[in-house]
Amino acid sequence: MLILTRKIDEEIKIGPDITIKILSLSENQVKIGITAPNSVQIYRGEVYEKVIQYSLDASKVNISDKVDLSKYKIKKVK
């Protein structure tokens, strides 16, 4: 694991087209902004675990019993 220290308005670059920016800090919360291509799916950790589980469950059921995962996807702000 890479551990970095950042201040407000500082960024982290992941490759040429993904940027993570520190927007604000409070006592127990960090607010970040992520800029990435639309083809990159971004999920919170706890939601990602649900997505994986739903995907595994969906592979075991009929095609007519699909679960809609789009409600868990983080919406990108332009």
Closest CA to 78 of 39, 40, 46, 35: 35
Residue the block writes with tokens 């009929």 = 62
Which range of residues forms the domain containing residue 23? 11-66
Assess if residue 45 is contained within a domain.
Answer: yes
Alpha-carbon distance of 39 to 64, in angstroms, equals 26
pTM across the whole model: 0.64
Please write the tens of the pLDDT for every residue from 38-62. 999 999 988 989 888 888 887 776 6
Assess if residue 73 is contained within a domain.
Answer: no
Assess if residue 40 is contained within a domain.
Answer: yes
Q: How many domains, in total, are found in the chain? A: 1
Task: Assess whether pLDDT exceeds 90 at residue 72.
Answer: no
* Between residues 61 and 26, the one the model is more confident about: 26
Assess if residue 46 is contained within a domain.
Answer: yes
DSSP 49: H
Assess if residue 36 is contained within a domain.
Answer: yes
Assess if residue 30 is contained within a domain.
Answer: yes
